[in-house]
Structure 1
Amino acid sequence: MVVSFFLGLLGALSQHILYKRLHHTAPEDPEKRIRLVLYGRALAYFSKITFGGCVILCYRQRIWRTFRENVLSVWAIDRLFLATEDLSLFLHWETWGKATLPTLMALVIWLIPIATIIMSPGALTFGVFIQRDTSSLSVPTLNFTAESYKDYRVPVFAKDGTTKKKSLIFVNTTDPSATAPGWFDYYDKPASDIERVSLMSAYSLKNQSLNREDARYRSCGGDFNCTYTISFVGPGYKCEELAHGADDDKKLAELGAPFNTSYLAPVGRLAYFAQVDIGEYLRPQTELGRQGVPLNITNDVGVFKTEPILWIGYSVNTTDPPDPRFKDTWTSKYDPYVFQCIHHETNYTVQYNYTGPFFNTSISHNFLAPIINTTYARYDNGIPNYQDFVPASGFVSPRTDVPLYKKTAVYHAVGQSLRKFLEGKIEVEPPIPGPATYARPYSDITKTRLVKSNSFPVHNLHIELQDFYADMILSLFSAPNLLVIAEDRVEVNTTRYKAAFIYDAGKLWGCYAPVIFFTLIFLIIGAWTVWEDGTTFSVGFSRIMVTTRNSTLDEISRGACLGNDPFPMELMNTRLRFGVLTEGGEEMEYIGSGDGLQGLSHCTFGVASELTAIKRGVPYAGLKYTGPKYANNGLGSKKEKME
């Protein structure tokens, strides 16, 4: 019994180990997959045999105890002997009432195959699972500092040695040979690539940046989904709302805004107005000669004196009833807003999430400092002088700090690519006295996602503009031959769907746990029964033969010796018990006298009136005992020596 139980545990554990090794693996050979599955089922069958064998052995011990303690019909005794073959045992009230424990043990014997052979292999399936991993990979990032040391005379190549890296700006020079005393290069205009990228990004109408087609494969290290975070420093617009509502112009006047809320509906006739070119870098800086060399080189040539502030106003139709002041011209309330955006050097933190063919980004900004820290000069009466800027110490010159100048020029070029979409206006006429008119756009902003389908700007335009500009910068990744495209090694969290074996350990042990539990309980019961009885029992033919040697049984079974079905019902309903046969109404005593015994009692099935209880430690005919080696052979008083 004990060996069978532990062999069952070994089989279950072996099945677990096999399935665990197969978990998330996918042998390419289909025949090998089938063999591995069959190995698991073979182990399940082995566990069924061993656990079932243990319970059967315990069951055999227990039914003999039941036969000794209860008077049962031959029908019930017959079914208890055939419990592992005949389900009719569970349909008879007598077995449930008088042999409850053996009946339950028999039920478990029948249920063990369901749990082991049928259910446990279901813990291993073949399907799709999500494979997760974290690794350090090289992903694209932006490095605008690379432009600080770019000399257009010296080509820069990518790691493959064939792709030429391109700058984001075009420059002019005072000396193409770079040999004349005091020569310098200075900014001319944005390069063609930044013009193309900004145009495609602005017109894509998608709420995300552009990217290269193989970005997921390159960034995720293969055909995976992945997430990772990059950080870089680049240009960014910091926008601040300054006015909300008609006549809210105080702060605008203090900051020297070129317009106020009176330009916007409902006071004015504009739904959008932008002044974005005050202090714009002039092109050309001076008259040019051959090879773009300036003819008149002054101290101001190429100098960045300011970075244009974005002054933007827009009006939102709230659909609420109009203000009483404007009810004669407007049918709904318009809320005017004015904000400014200052170009800053910005620390970006961007989280990329690639899922299938799609991706999205989560961007956070940390604005460091204005790219050019100057402002408008003022006349004596306090009116802003839009042609002059202070302080002069904030100017960025190509003659002094060249790396700073080149980086500032690139920042300026990227901002200039945005500003061309923002300048202009959108007009709107009051609907009263009518007829109703539509918005009339005079700005390329209507071609971007910053304007709704009705040609009116989106709500929270100042926030949307910051994100729009960030997406335009991230769109540089779609042009991998740019000089600012670099690589950074970061932790990448990858996932992918993979077809393989999937093992659910909980499901396997969920099948085996009740089997192990009940088998262990019955093992304890069986072992306790053996200890209490002092012997073991079996249900073999020889055991049945010796336990039915009773003249009473011979008498009631006359005419039924073929073992045929149907069996006489009178015999089947006879109630029997297993015990010590009494002769003359009294149990035989055994008396040790010198070298032998006068007699030994006989254990057999019989009617209750002719039997007494079997006692532990008492020698009975046919049972091994520790006394003298003699036994009654059941033939009168004759003694026979036995081994």
Structure 2
Amino acid sequence: MYLCLLFGVACAASHHFYYWSLDRRPATNQIKMMRYGTILAFGAKAGLSAAVIVAFRQRVWTTVRKRFMTVGALDALFSATEDSQAVTSREMVQSAKVAALLAAYVWLAPLVVVLTSNTLLVVPRRVEIREMCPGVRTLNFTFEETYEWRKPPKIDRLFEIPLSLWNTTKESEKDTPEWFDYYTAPNPSFQNTATIGSFLEEAVMRKNAPIETCGSGWSCSFEIQFIAPAYKCTELGSGVDSKVNNLTQQSGSIAPPFNMDVLLPKGKFTYYAFTSGGEYSTTQMKEVGIGGRPTMNPPFPKHLGAFRTEPIIWLGYVTLADALSKANDTNPPSVPSSPSDPAWSTSFVPHMFACENYESNYTVRINYTDAAQSTNVTKVTYLRPVINTTYTPHIDANDGTADNVTAVPTANYILPTSVPQYRRTAAYHSLGFMLRDQINGTVGIGDDRDDLVNPIANTKAIQTSRLLDYGNNYFPFPDIQRRIQKFYEDIILSVLGNPQFASVVWAAKPGEQSGVTFNNVPLDQEGQNNRPPPLTDEQRAYLYPCTKFRMALVYKFNARLLWIVYSISIALAVMGVVVGALALRENGGVVRDTKFSSIVAATRGSGLGRVRWTDGADGGVSSVGNGTVPEEVKGWRMGYGVVDTSGSGGYGDGRLDVGDGMGGGRTVFGFGFEGDVRQLRRTPSLVQLTTLGK
């Protein structure tokens, strides 16, 4: 009994640890794993049931020693763990409640297997692993500093591309020491990439990047760091008739080029962006030859090709008042359509901010999920202005060039003779120019200010839904400041979409340009990688830490449900064993069972012979009775105890001559009808009782 209980508990614990070892693991060999779990569940059920069955048997003998029951009730009692109908015997349940509960436990024990089988499930779950991924790239604009467009570097037969185009003062047949190159405009390849990103409204993804980096069937993410420009924005004013502050820069202070009176409700614009103040002039000299070489003889003007200042983004925009902005689809806002409406002056809130182009330290997380790219700039640390000057409008340069931009201090101009600094600044300027060109302009109502519907747009910003809310009459989004910064971030990250750009490098080796291939395995015409050979140690040096993930079927272990079932089952089994132990103690420590020999030994009472146990006239089996005990006999009450031998071949003192040849007889225990046996309710042990007649 005790060993069976321990075996059942051990199987339950093993079941837990087995399922626990499978938790969150890929769901492989599902049928095999489930079968092992079912075997342990059957073992737990078998052990606990066996312990209770042994306890039940001890309780049965204790019960029949203490009370008389009908033959039918005794039939039900002795067969309660084998015949399900026996458990429903009303008299048996009333006369042997504890034994009936133990039998009920045995019949309900299979529920352990049923209920615990549902504790290990197969569910879809995101599986993550830390890996080293190939093909991860980042940006390093120091390669713009050293780029020589006359002898461009080549990787795998493809030329590296700078972000900028150049003019020169050098004569084709002469090599004078005072010649230099100067900036012209953003490279057309970069303009195409930035424009595509603008229309996609996200960073341009490198072709086949998810497959190359994550591998087939996987998504992945990784974090890169690099230095690039970023726009640092400052709020200057908000509200009708509010004071608009000047923008304070490291090099000085500058007033906005417009005031908020141009915005609704006083003005006619809902969006007003001025981004060209101090813009680098593509016409540096009025008279130039091929390649932008000035026709004049050296020395050239000191500020020819100089980056004098980086244009500031000045942006005024209008949002709806709080009561209108909080309206929803079921309660649409009632926006006044013309200035004649009394609510016109209180329905619109003008705002203004300015953004400076700063060299910044980026931390970016790039995610490839299901062949789609998403980017998240997690941190931007502003380092220094791209050009540390303050634009001074309405002041003529008069410096011999066609660029009439002036700024202070002039000592901070970036001159083309400072080649590394100048070329990096040119790359930053090209990046900023593409953003400024996209957002410059206005959106507003007509000059007559009669109707707010169908606004008039004079800006490329209308081409995308990044900044203007198409569903709200083209009003700017309230978070337009952050949206502009995100727009710029996507332009910069779009450079990664074409590894042919000179500033694209390996993330694992930022000092090495990447080109468009990985490990010298070129893309075929279908855009798929040829099957590469195993990576060499040199190739492994280009692997970069990443997190790979995918949705996969994994095992999920519900330990709580498992132990709810097992704790109830074990607790009831322990209670049953305690009952069995107490019954065993009352039985004198002798383990009783219901074997055939035990039943025969308990049915030696001579009084049982006076009853006809079958329906046959000669003790045979009749066709009606089918060998069963007649119903009238089943109603007789019987019990187990000391057989009364008075007048039945005994000595009148409980001793019965059983033919042992000793002549003295001995005390006999057995079943008998009520009145034929004496039941001893509080006997120390049956072993002691058997010695009474000796």
- Shorter-chain TM range is 0.7 to 0.9
Alpha-carbon distance in structure 1 between the residues aligned to 2:244 and 2:52: 93
Within the candidate set 377, 396, 401, 2:414 is matched to 396
* Residue identity opposite 2:353 in structure 1: F
Alpha-carbon distance in structure 2 between the residues aligned to 1:15 and 1:618: 41
Change (3 A) 1:56 1:164: farther
Shift of 1:123: 3.2
Quote the residue 1:224 is aligned against.
218
Corresponding position: 1:339 with 2:358: no
Quote the residue 1:441 is aligned against.
457
Corresponding position: 1:94 with 2:91: yes
Quote the residue 2:233 is aligned against.
239
Query: What is the correspondence of 1:10-89 to structure 2 with a 5 Å cutoff?
Result: 10-13=10-13, 15-16=15-16, 19=19, 24-27=25-28, 34-89=31-86
Deviates more, 1:304-313 or 1:121-130: 121-130
Within the candidate set 125, 139, 142, 1:142 is matched to 139
Corresponding position: 1:480 with 2:499: yes
Change (3 A) 1:557 1:354: farther
Shift of 1:329: 12
Deviates more, 1:547-556 or 1:443-452: 443-452
Quote the residue 1:556 is aligned against.
611
Change (3 A) 1:504 1:304: same
Quote the residue 2:433 is aligned against.
416
Shift of 1:108: 0.9
Residue 280 of structure 2 aligns to a residue whose secondary structure is coil
Tell me if the contact between 2:317 and 2:352 (Cα under 8 Å) persists in the aligned partners.
yes
Shift of 1:375: 0.9
Quote the residue 1:114 is aligned against.
111
Alpha-carbon distance in structure 2 between the residues aligned to 1:335 and 1:44: 70
Residue 3 of structure 2 aligns to a residue whose secondary structure is helix
Deviations 1:596-637 (A, max 9, x none): 99553111112343313283456479x7x8x9xxx98xxxxx
Alpha-carbon distance in structure 2 between the residues aligned to 1:227 and 1:177: 52
Q: 5+ unaligned residues in a row in structure 1: which ranges?
A: 591-595, 633-643
Shift of 1:545: 1.2
* Residue identity opposite 2:259 in structure 1: N
* Residue identity opposite 1:392 in structure 2: T
Quote the residue 2:276 is aligned against.
277
Tell me if the contact between 2:244 and 2:259 (Cα under 8 Å) persists in the aligned partners.
no
Deviates more, 1:559-568 or 1:271-280: 559-568
- Percent identity between the aligned chains? 29
Alpha-carbon distance in structure 2 between the residues aligned to 1:405 and 1:388: 18
Alpha-carbon distance in structure 2 between the residues aligned to 1:227 and 1:137: 10
Quote the residue 2:4 is aligned against.
4
Corresponding pairs, count:
606
Deviates more, 1:522-531 or 1:405-414: 522-531
Query: What is the correspondence of 1:176-255 to structure 2 with a 5 Å cutoff?
Result: 180-204=176-200, 206=201, 208-212=202-206, 214-218=208-212, 220=214, 223-245=217-239, 247-248=241-242, 251=245, 255=254
Tell me if the contact between 1:321 and 1:332 (Cα under 8 Å) persists in the aligned partners.
no
Tell me if the contact between 1:263 and 1:269 (Cα under 8 Å) persists in the aligned partners.
yes
Change (3 A) 1:325 1:543: closer
Alpha-carbon distance in structure 1 between the residues aligned to 2:420 and 2:372: 38
* Residue identity opposite 1:472 in structure 2: I
Quote the residue 1:256 is aligned against.
255
Alpha-carbon distance in structure 1 between the residues aligned to 2:266 and 2:230: 32
Alpha-carbon distance in structure 2 between the residues aligned to 1:97 and 1:495: 62
TM-score normalised per structure 2 = 0.76
Corresponding position: 1:603 with 2:606: no
Change (3 A) 1:600 1:151: farther
Shift of 1:459: 3.1
Tell me if the contact between 1:234 and 1:348 (Cα under 8 Å) persists in the aligned partners.
yes
Quote the residue 1:613 is aligned against.
680
Residue 251 of structure 1 aligns to a residue whose secondary structure is coil
Change (3 A) 1:25 1:350: closer
Deviations 1:268-322 (A, max 9, x none): 4444333322222122433444555444433222221111122233445657898
Alpha-carbon distance in structure 1 between the residues aligned to 2:488 and 2:663: 112
Shift of 1:104: 0.9
Within the candidate set 602, 607, 623, 1:547 is matched to 602
Quote the residue 2:302 is aligned against.
299
Shift of 1:425: 3.0
Deviations 1:64-86 (A, max 9, x none): 01111222111111111111222
Quote the residue 2:523 is aligned against.
none
Corresponding position: 1:368 with 2:383: yes
Quote the residue 2:631 is aligned against.
569
Deviations 1:445-471 (A, max 9, x none): 221322232344333433332222222
Within the candidate set 424, 434, 447, 1:407 is matched to 424
Alpha-carbon distance in structure 2 between the residues aligned to 1:202 and 1:224: 28
Shift of 1:131: 1.9
Corresponding position: 1:537 with 2:592: yes
Query: What is the correspondence of 1:288-327 to structure 2 with a 5 Å cutoff?
Result: 288-290=288-290, 292-296=292-296, 297-316=300-319, 318=321
Change (3 A) 1:399 1:613: same
Residue 72 of structure 2 aligns to a residue whose secondary structure is helix
Alpha-carbon distance in structure 2 between the residues aligned to 1:586 and 1:612: 16
Deviations 1:381-440 (A, max 9, x none): xxxx9832111221112323x3222211111000111121233333423667x5777422
Change (3 A) 1:555 1:503: same
Shift of 1:578: 1.2
Deviates more, 1:529-538 or 1:557-566: 557-566
Shift of 1:17: 5.5
Tell me if the contact between 1:601 and 1:620 (Cα under 8 Å) persists in the aligned partners.
no
Alpha-carbon distance in structure 1 between the residues aligned to 2:343 and 2:120: 75
Residue 469 of structure 2 aligns to a residue whose secondary structure is coil
Alpha-carbon distance in structure 2 between the residues aligned to 1:75 and 1:329: 95
Tell me if the contact between 2:639 and 2:679 (Cα under 8 Å) persists in the aligned partners.
no
Alpha-carbon distance in structure 2 between the residues aligned to 1:114 and 1:54: 17
Residue 408 of structure 1 aligns to a residue whose secondary structure is helix
* Residue identity opposite 1:544 in structure 2: I
Residue 271 of structure 2 aligns to a residue whose secondary structure is strand
Alpha-carbon distance in structure 2 between the residues aligned to 1:579 and 1:317: 98
Within the candidate set 512, 515, 522, 2:576 is matched to 522
* Residue identity opposite 2:162 in structure 1: S
Q: 5+ unaligned residues in a row in structure 2: which ranges?
A: 248-252, 325-333, 396-402, 509-543, 657-661
Quote the residue 1:171 is aligned against.
166
Residue 406 of structure 2 aligns to a residue whose secondary structure is strand
Change (3 A) 1:336 1:588: closer
Deviations 1:330-363 (A, max 9, x none): 6874444333221111233334455445554443
* Residue identity opposite 2:678 in structure 1: L
Change (3 A) 1:106 1:310: same
Quote the residue 1:350 is aligned against.
364
Tell me if the contact between 1:310 and 1:340 (Cα under 8 Å) persists in the aligned partners.
yes
Deviations 1:231-279 (A, max 9, x none): 3321112222323345546635973333323434444444433332222
